[in-house]
Structure 1
Amino acid sequence: MSEDREKNLRIVALYINKMPSLPTSVAKVMEISNDPNASPADLNRVISIDPVLMGRVMKLINSAYYGLNQRITSLVRAIIMLGINTVKNLALSTAILGNLGGKEHFQALNMDGFWRHSLCVGVTAKQIAKKRKVDPRKIEEFFVAGLLHDIGKIPLNNRLSDQYFLAMSIADRETMPLYKAEKRAMAIHHCEAGQLIAKTWNLGQEISDAIIYHHSPSAYEGKHREMVLTIAAANYLANFLEIGFSGDRYPEKLPLELFDEIGVSFDWLEEIEEVVNEEIERARIFLKLGGEA
């Protein structure tokens, strides 16, 4: 391992280890949600003793994202209407965004553009999952994996700002993918940093694999291939259409076989641009919730 790589990995790991851990209630929500026998009442018992999380659930169900005609005031009814997986992913994503969502001074990336790109990947992945008729209970997993796929850019951008400026300059000057420019400038890239966050916060292997392989999906042969390929395709579309800004102006083209494998064409992805933009605006509630204390 080169000295630069070892040094930068140590800096990033220290930053990640100092981040606040996920709240106990969120960990408990994840545990309950992963139990196939779990019921809304089980979640209600955990969420009802966490006023912040309870407030987020109630704000989500009564937001424009769902557009209900009448206000919901019962927590257990909100959980039933949202579904256990949606509540789990709300708890997870808002806890993460609360820890990482713009509280510090960022140097190279515009964070509004970064989160819009992340939302785009999340909602596009969700659209692909729906088209593939993925089990409705798992569809929200695709949204969260897409939302978090670039999360490793935050510690790089924050703790290695000068090197990150250099990486972005190299990518622009040599018209190359940002992750390759990061590797050249910093000896590590955002996929590796994101994997460290996933491991530290026990986000699960599926999300971790999507984070580490979203720029190299052809190399992935594990059991979460559908998720990895979906996030890779959604990320490519977001960069191609320049929805938000991830710093990656020159992404690598994905092999056509990848689109064939997940059962969508690039033409279809372009056709859903209007739907994606509408969903981004609706899903911005996750950012607002995540930025709250």
Structure 2
Amino acid sequence: MNRADTGGSQTTAPLKILFIDPHAAFVTWGSGLVQYGCNWQVVRTDDGRAAIKMLEETNFDAVIVAALTSFERELGILRQVASTKPKTARILLSPALSAANLAKALDVVHRNIFQGCSVEEIVASVEQTVMVTRQLYRDKVVRSFAAFRQLPSPPSIYHELSRALNSDRTSTRDISAIVERDPALAARILRLVNSSYFALSRHISNLNEAITLLGVRTVRGLSLAGHLNAHYPEASAWKVFSFDMMSQRALCVARMAQEICGPYSKGQALKDQAFLAGLLLDIGMLMLAAEQGQGYLKVLKYAARKQLPLHVVERMAYGVTHAELGAYLLNMWNLAPQVVEAVLLHHEPDEAVGDSFTPLSAAHIADALLPSIANEFELDLSATLSDSYVERISAKQYLPSWKMVANGYRLRMRESERVQSA
């Protein structure tokens, strides 16, 4: 898909940018970008309330908020933007943030640009965000999504956990109290922490301890994945691939994506988002299999016969891919924008702009290095590793070690398949 199809930065119309500068610290910022050669129309204001009113009356491609001293207040403005105009790209311009504040920001903003970034980095970040947002809201994606008969509602427990994460006074005991109200989730957490993935020397039966080991954001991700898997159960007539095995593979992708972040992240935010993206990459595939049934069976069969990637045949048949449908659902549920982007582009990472390592990078590489689940047509359902993308994000040096990690997960997947078939 080329950029013109998605309404990306190669179109001739200038990008309309609303720049909210509460401390009047960037008075000449817009003119500097114009001098750089950006095809942008920048409207600057130092009044957050006036900015929200402008948004209600005028469409902007992106909103940039400068947060120099009052992080919580400026992040609150972007939360209002998300509620008022969800199709508008949300960008935070800030000094370096603490790990806790960065995690909060990444749950709301599409991009966090740090003070001192070059003009090139700023331009790439803004235009990438606008391009992804436009692709997500393509008319065909919106119409296809609306045609689904039974869409899941957002799980209340996910949002309870999100609110708890954003509170400075929440303890592990508070999180456990939320999780205990969902016995299936509690059981899944204990099963996971005692599985071979952790290889602990003793059995963990205490939910508090299990949540501490996993991390609250991982627990939140498991709650979401479990909710979606429960909403899309495998029909008795469906024989192409096992929904349960797909769920097991998703956990492997998620765990490996988290490990891949090691050389790039000193904090937890990137790892948490990579885990969640890996866990949810193929939810659109389950949506299509559950909703389209025999129609989707024909798509899979055609892809196998013609030896074409599944997402290419999906676009031929439906005008939309499982990646786009899954990303649209997660965006509707207000998931972290970079998680949505990872789901959207995991088969086509070269569509991303910029050369930084993101949750998309981790999810794409993990998905590509792990084997596809077994299926009736022996069709590879995983992503194909983009060597050009790996080169662009300067990750080639780590590929040999990541392939060794993938071999370990491959063995676990085989063991899981053996147990399932026994």
TM-score interval w.r.t. the shorter chain? 0.7 to 0.9
State the match for 1:46 in structure 2.
178
Q: Which amino acid aligns with 1:135?
A: G
Distance 1:122 1:247, change over 3 A: farther
CA distance in 1, matches of 2:245, 2:181: 35
Q: 1:277 aligns with which of 399, 410, 415?
A: 410
Q: 1:148 aligns with which of 259, 266, 280?
A: 280
Identity %: 24
Moved more, 146-155 or 196-205: 196-205
Q: Which amino acid aligns with 1:271?
A: M
State the match for 2:401 in structure 1.
268
State the match for 2:48 in structure 1.
none
Structure 1, unaligned stretches of length 5 or more?
289-293
Q: CA deviation at 1:237?
A: 1.9
Answer whether contact 1:233 1:259 (CA < 8 A) is retained. no
Answer whether contact 1:167 1:181 (CA < 8 A) is retained. yes
Answer whether contact 2:185 2:223 (CA < 8 A) is retained. yes
- The answer as to 2:359 corresponding to 1:227 is yes
- The answer as to 2:339 corresponding to 1:189 is no
TM-score by length of 1: 0.75
CA distance in 1, matches of 2:354, 2:392: 18
CA distance in 2, matches of 1:112, 1:49: 24
Structure with the bigger RCO (C-alpha within 8 Å, sep 6+) is 1
Distance 1:139 1:91, change over 3 A: same
- The answer as to 2:211 corresponding to 1:79 is yes
CA distance in 2, matches of 1:93, 1:219: 26
Aligned length: 279
Structure 2, unaligned stretches of length 5 or more?
6-137
TM-score by length of 2: 0.55
Answer whether contact 1:121 1:234 (CA < 8 A) is retained. yes
Cα displacement string for residues 103-142 of structure 1 (whole angstroms, at most 9, x for unaligned residues): 6643644435533543443233122113434524542432
CA distance in 2, matches of 1:31, 1:281: 38
State the match for 1:135 in structure 2.
267
Moved more, 180-189 or 50-59: 50-59
State the match for 1:201 in structure 2.
333
Structure 1 or 2, whichever has the larger Rg, is: 2
Secondary structure at 2:283 match in 1: coil
Distance 1:272 1:200, change over 3 A: same
Answer whether contact 1:85 1:140 (CA < 8 A) is retained. yes
Q: CA deviation at 1:189?
A: 1.3
Answer whether contact 2:369 2:385 (CA < 8 A) is retained. no
Higher helix share: 1
Answer whether contact 1:64 1:282 (CA < 8 A) is retained. no
State the match for 2:53 in structure 1.
none
CA distance in 1, matches of 2:206, 2:400: 43
Cα displacement string for residues 74-112 of structure 1 (whole angstroms, at most 9, x for unaligned residues): 443333333222322222222222223536643644435
State the match for 1:91 in structure 2.
223
Q: Which amino acid aligns with 1:190?
A: H
CA distance in 2, matches of 1:50, 1:164: 32
Q: Which amino acid aligns with 2:218?
A: T
- The answer as to 2:383 corresponding to 1:258 is no
CA distance in 1, matches of 2:389, 2:348: 14
